[in-house]
Amino acid sequence: MKRAMTSILPPASPPFPLKVGARGSPLSVAQSGWLRRQLVSAHGHGPDTGEELAPFTAITTTGDRIQDRTLAEAGGKGLFTKELDDALLDGRIDCAIHSLKDVPTHLPDGIVLLAIPPRADVRDALITRDGRALSELPEGAHVGTASLRRAAQLRHARPDLRISPLRGNVGTRIGRLAAGDFDATVLALSGMGRLGVDSQPHCPLDPVAMPPAIGQGALAVTARAGDEAVAQAFARLSEPHTQITIAAERAFLTALDGSCRTATGAYARIEADGTLHLIVEALSGDGAQRFREEARLPGATTATAADLGASLGAGIRARAGAALDWS
């Protein structure tokens, strides 16, 4: 059953200390630290009180343990969230901080998605040793990525490229590139910024031509269903435009029933006049077939944005039929 994002007025006395859990990767630790500081500051405390008021527990997930194959081969859904869900349900933590793109559209019973703070840059970036663009890579260049979406989009744009799996955290992937194992890789700009490695030579990829992962650039907070004190503590961090764009993208993925075996991307943004602009796509793994939809919706709300995303997803699924792997 799909869970709705809640938005409740914050209380006068938030439930500190609040036990926070997240993955132990360098990126997860960095972005969790940032969000914990934002949380305590939003309730009138200095950011240096984060360790005391929002103590942190690093939890290793199945996705962290798997380094010898792609996530699609390992099963895909929930590989970076299951152990955090278990820790929530058994009371070891009060909330979990995720990269939203790792959070399945269908959450386990007893878990809800609470708040999404302002979204960072949604774009992917091509990482090379000299910052060249995708069109400037030599013919047959070797690109490393474990993302089915990125691999399919790269193959669609440049069928000549040689693409191989590349797992590991951001530092590991940059290290493999520096060692000469690959000519390029692709990373999320938001993650590079949060880790402070955005000085690495790179070229941003056009999100219209190559829509990013659903929810890329956004953080998510999950908690136990019915824990109103925790929900209220995080309500001050929610940002309306982010909620609207995320609602559209996740509804699109839900309509496809997409998994890590489906190469899907979405790019939702709010234009200057308040119009929601949504571009979505699904591709075959080899990049040969691409199905895209695009629409604009003036005055969108989270509900109408979700309706639009679901409609575009249904349209792609109907057009693609058996051409794509929906498993």
Active-site residue, selected from the candidate residues 85, 102, 121, 183: 102
- CA-wise closest residue to 199 among 208, 207, 187, 210: 187
The Cα angle at residue 259 between residues 241 and 218, in degrees rounded to 5 = 25
Q: Is 102 a catalytic residue?
A: yes
- CA-wise closest residue to 311 among 256, 259, 258: 256
CA-based R_g, the chain, Å: 19
Q: In what order do the strands lie in the sheet with 111-115?
A: 56-58, 20-22, 95-99, 219-224, 111-115
Contact 116, 219 (CB under 8 A): yes
- CA-wise closest residue to 79 among 62, 101, 103, 67: 62
Query: In a 3-state reduction of DSSP, which class is residue 151?
Result: helix
Q: Which residues are catalytic?
A: 102
